[in-house]
Structure 1
Amino acid sequence: MLGIERVKQLLTHGRVEQKIDALIDALEYGEAGLDLIIQALQNSEVDVQEAAYSLLQESTEPRAKLALQLYNPYLFFEYLFTIERYTDEIRRIACVDISQEWQTLATYNYNNTIQVWNMRTQQVICIFQPEATKEFDQIAIAPNNRVLGLWYCLDLAEVWDLKIGQKIFTTNIQSEEFWRVSFSPDGQALVSTRDGYKLTFWDVNEQKIIPSIFIPENIHCRYPIYSNSQILVTEEQGFDQNYEIWDWQTQQVICTLSLSGYMPVITVSRDQRFLVSGSRENGTIKVWNIRTGHQLYTLTSNLSSITGLAISSDGQRLFVWSGDSTIEVWGI
């Protein structure tokens, strides 16, 4: 085992392989070694950063967990595999969502069927069909992995029991602008952005509306294009292609992004730290700091066009799909 001073020397002056070995040895030196591993997240060598990141993931120390929360894992993301969905019966995917532990994937297909997949085996668990005859535009799995939300963006939403494929209820308010729907962090409320300025909560168990939140700051002059239970993304009217990130709780704009291209696809990590945007015109994926509005990283998928994105709750997997039958999985 190397001495702590030798570990420091190798981390400063050693070759990449020596630095990675030194990080492993640093584990033997308690708090001082943990400090060196955390510092290595800023090393100029990406391979060293990745090694430090992996070691910190295995640590139970609160400081290690905090360092990971403050770090950008997308730097290490690479293409992992593709789920091919093409069959004679199902030629196109309308929308997709992934459960928080990224074990379950649900797809809504253009033949009006829902397929629930085991992500680890890439096998279909169950198939069921919504009662609405209209095509649904969006789909969401609740954080508790118990219920599934489906909605037609200008009309209504349905809530289903994910395990048995049975409908729980249908929303009874129709609107000219029934926008995005998501679930509250505990999975007990369905959250819909309606009429471009109102956040409505539906109690999943009681099947009724509970108090809503209004955004007063001129929201009617913008188009909501993404929402979850904490974050709303709106597009400003005009040709500047500026997008505002709102905090639903404070009802304040966090930052403004300038996203090029036609109607970029957007998703937000469940820890509300990162916004990921995808291009409908090519396979470009960009990662943004949601608090500062700074672009952090760019990925290039194998898809010619991106129509959907989703992030696992632990931030370790990014799911990218096009409007056909292909889902790419990216991660560390």
Structure 2
Amino acid sequence: MKNKQISAKVFTALAIVATIGISAMPRSQAVSQPPITPISTLTAQAPTNTWQNVRPIRSVEAHSGSVGAIAIAGNGQVMASGSDDGTIKVWNPQTGQLIRALTGHTDTIWGLAISPNGQTLASSSATNDGSLKLWNLKTGKVIRTIKRDLYVKSLAFSPDGERLAIGSWNPTARNAEIEVWNARTGKSIYSFQGSPQSNLMVAFSPDGKTLVSGNEDSTIQIWDLRTGKPIRTLNNGEAVRAIAFGQDNKTLISESYNQIVKIWNLQTGELISTPIKDSGTVFVNAVALHPNGRVLASALGGLEGTLNLFDLQTGNVINPLIGSFNVVSSLAFAPNGQTLISGNFDGTITFWEPQ
């Protein structure tokens, strides 16, 4: 990233993806992983120096395939990981201890989302499975299985936990479809016609009134959930890797596969910041924002693992970690901000802490 002064005002209302990742699959099938959790506001006093020296405190052999999805409950008590091996595992993120394994999917786990109260997990799987499941995280039992002719690629719970947004690809019609369901009954509330190409990410606004979808055709679609009508479409310029709302419900951030971060005014559809360029020449595998709203972790693809930690207020790299670990496929900060968790291509999960 070039050193640029990024105003605190822009990032005061900013919420980047709290947990997002993709598994090793063609870009046409690449999946951005929810949930998206609104992050606390950026302040000039938010410390970054504690993340200048980071080391792995533990690594667990989690899966036999790439860990392409990580979701953490808002209370920080439970974490779920999903893999190319078709399994989901539930962990205590504070200790790294396995709580249970969830089996039932028969293909790559494409999407994971945990309800705000930490009681329900939503999961979706790839082509040969094509199902969406809701799990009781306390018991590990399946609440509901819904077999789909669509490929469910992204999932997100609304802030109140009452609704579940589903981003899908319809292989017959060859277009993206977005649905909003009643999370308790599985009944459809809204069905939106998506972009001509695959949907990669869905996100609710913090007030639950707006839904945004980021798409492979470089568009960002904005929907009014009070009326079920589209508000506008933004041209991101490149396939959308990550999207998230600001706390003011008026600001949106997007990051594309070519590592460009943009910040939008949703009321006008205008770009309100100079695009920020990540470092490297390969596409973004995963991003995560620290709860203080100032430290951004960004993992890049390629033969060597590249994990950058940025100070968003200055645009400076705090701590580049290059080639010293396995390629990262998913990332999340713990809600308490003390741990960064990476899901890796070799099936391991690594817990990082500042020294």
Question: Normalised by the shorter chain, which TM-score bucket?
Answer: 0.5 to 0.7
Matches within 5 A, 1:198-277: 198-206=219-227, 208-212=228-232, 214-215=234-235, 219-220=236-237, 222-229=238-245, 230-236=252-258, 243-249=259-265, 251=271, 252-259=273-280, 261=282, 263-268=284-289, 272-277=293-298
TM-score for both structures, normalised by structure 1: 0.58
State the Cα deviation string for residues 154-185 of structure 1 (Å, max 9, x = none): 51122223344433332134423544321112
Q: 1:133 to 1:82 in 2, by over 3 A?
A: farther
Q: 1:130 to 1:320 in 2, by over 3 A?
A: farther
Q: Is the 8 A contact 2:154 2:167 kept in 1?
A: yes
**How much does 1:231 deviate?**
0.8
**How much does 1:233 deviate?**
0.7
TM-score for both structures, normalised by structure 2: 0.55
Alignment match, 1:136:
152
In terms of mean alpha carbon deviation, does 308-317 or 251-260 score higher?
A: 308-317
Matches of 1:73 and 1:99 in 2, distance apart?
A: 30
Corresponding position: 1:295 with 2:317 = yes
Among the aligned pairs, what percent are the same residue? 20
Q: Is the 8 A contact 1:81 1:328 kept in 2?
A: no
Matches of 1:213 and 1:265 in 2, distance apart?
A: 24
Matches within 5 A, 1:36-115: 69-71=46-48, 78-79=57-58, 80-81=95-96, 83=98, 85=101, 87=103, 90=106, 92-99=108-115, 105-110=121-126, 111=129, 112-115=131-134
In terms of mean alpha carbon deviation, does 290-299 or 105-114 score higher?
A: 290-299
RMSD: 4.1
Q: Is the 8 A contact 1:92 1:324 kept in 2?
A: no
Matches of 1:330 and 1:115 in 2, distance apart?
A: 30
Corresponding position: 1:308 with 2:321 = no
**Bigger strand share:** 2
In terms of mean alpha carbon deviation, does 189-198 or 321-330 score higher?
A: 321-330
Q: 1:71 to 1:175 in 2, by over 3 A?
A: same
State the Cα deviation string for residues 13-56 of structure 1 (Å, max 9, x = none): xxxxxxxxxxxxxxxxxxxxxxxxxxxxxxxxxxxxxxxxxxxx
Corresponding position: 1:146 with 2:189 = no
Amino acid of the structure 1 residue aligned with 2:183: L
**How much does 1:296 deviate?**
2.5
Matches of 1:148 and 1:235 in 2, distance apart?
A: 26
Runs of 5+ unmatched residues, structure 1:
1-64, 237-242
Matches of 2:226 and 2:346 in 1, distance apart?
A: 35
Amino acid of the structure 1 residue aligned with 2:101: R
Runs of 5+ unmatched residues, structure 2:
1-41, 59-94, 170-174, 246-251
**Bigger helix share:** 1
Q: Is the 8 A contact 2:195 2:217 kept in 1?
A: no
Q: Is the 8 A contact 1:245 1:290 kept in 2?
A: no
**How much does 1:247 deviate?**
0.6
Q: Is the 8 A contact 1:91 1:324 kept in 2?
A: no
Matches of 2:97 and 2:151 in 1, distance apart?
A: 25
For this pair of structures, how many residues does the alignment match?
254
Q: Is the 8 A contact 1:271 1:313 kept in 2?
A: no
